[in-house]
Amino acid sequence: MNTVVLPAEWAPQAAMLLVWPRRDGDWGTGLVAARDTLQAVVNALAARQPVILVAPDVDARHDIGQRQSEARLAHEGVCVADVAADDIWARDTGPITVIANGHRCFIDWRFEGWGGKFSAVADNALCAKLHAGGWLGADPLARQDWVLEGGSIESNGAGTLLTTRRCLMDGKRNPGVDSRALDTRLREVFGAHTLHWLEHGALIGDDTDSHIDTLVRFVDETTLVYQGCADPNDAHYAELAALADELAGLRDANGQPYRLIELPLPRPQHDPDDGHRLPAGYANFLLANGCVLMPAFDDPADDIAAVRLAECFSDRQIIRIDSRALIRQHGGLHCAAMQIPALPI
């Protein structure tokens, strides 16, 4: 019998994939701050597991080397891969790994810049080039000629997936493909028996059309943490309240309601240049071996989010990473990293 599993993110990890910000990218005056943030992420991870760090061009490679020579950036446990990339969002451009019959297999989905919003030629080729260069090891790579981003799906590691209809059925990613065909494909590729399509949930400023990793995350097989909003005057209030109601109505594979834990919403974060609101939230945390990297925004809600995540992951260290530099480009910690699961014993 063939078995396919999309491991939960709390399962043991063999490595974490990240991409260093390009000087010629969209970071502008925020480049140094973005690189400093990635430096903090790499240092936290490298103390616990290997890191595959993509250097997308010569300047990025030089900056990485300079920081390592000055002992600001970890050297041990960090493998630098010289592979072109458009941006840093490895969650959406890196491989999604399944365990098929006890063996690891990398799935390379087509990437088109979140429905064609941004140039993505290099990002679409990232998986293939990493694999061809040996950076991912000898496990096979399977190309799917459908569009899917890693941040758009969430797995409990036991056959249940979460996603949002607003993202996957927006008509731009896979035009002409109906929800039934996509549902079937997701179940086949990821070995899922239960697939929840959420209708509600959105953050202002989100370029991804409601990626699930900005809204709802599994923390165990039957517990969901979700992005809430307690302020009736906040523009997010109605939409996130509708999301909470929808989650309360979900039933797991055994017909039981999920345990739900609400995360607070930080005070509004705004772009320093033009003032538009940024999609800041706490659901975009990153799980790694022995720790949780939690986005922080120099906000009182940081403390509340840390306590609630600590309750979910009592065996892991909660590490706060100032994510204000990343949110300027409408992304976060989880968006910037893709785990490579360890093989089961």
Tens of pLDDT, residue by residue over 126-158, are 999 999 999 999 999 999 999 999 999 999 999
Look up residue 297 and give its two tokens.
């925004």
Say whether pLDDT at 2 is over 80: no
Say whether pLDDT at 1 is over 70: no
- Span 177-185, average pLDDT: 93
Q: Which of 340, 334, 320 is nearest to 40 (CA)?
A: 320
Say whether pLDDT at 200 is over 70: yes
Q: Which domains does the chain have, with CATH numbers?
A: 4-341 (3.75.10.10)
Provide the 8-state DSSP code for 334.
Answer: T
Is the entire prediction scored with pTM above 0.85? yes
Say whether pLDDT at 288 is over 70: yes
Please return the burial class of 251, using the count of CB atoms within 10 Å of its CB with bins 0-12, 13-18 and 19+.
Answer: exposed
By percentage, how much of the chain surpasses pLDDT 90? 95
Question: DSSP states of 3-52 as a string?
Answer: -EE---TTS-EEEEEEEPPPTTSS-GGGHHHHHHHHHHHHHHHHTTS-EE
* Cβ–Cβ < 8 Å for 265, 297: no
Report pLDDT for 25. Answer: 87
pLDDT band for 17, please (50, 70, 90 cuts). very high
Report pLDDT for 345. Answer: 44
Look up residue 116 and give its two tokens.
């064609």
Strand pairing category for 4-5 and 96-100: antiparallel
- Tell me which H or E stretch contains 337: strand 337-341
- Within 8 A by CB and 6+ apart from 133, the residues are 81, 83
Mean of pLDDT over the chain: 96
3-class SS of residue 107: strand
Look up residue 45 and give its two tokens.
């991870």
Give CA–CA dist 286/8, Å, rounded. 12
Question: DSSP states of 268-301 as a string?
Answer: P-B-TTT--B----STT-EEETTEEEEEE-SSTH
pLDDT band for 293, please (50, 70, 90 cuts). very high
pLDDT band for 344, please (50, 70, 90 cuts). confident
Say whether pLDDT at 92 is over 80: yes
- Span 246-265, average pLDDT: 98
Beta bridge partners of 291: 288, 317
pLDDT band for 171, please (50, 70, 90 cuts). confident
Q: What angle do CA 35, 39, 40 make, to 5 degrees?
A: 125
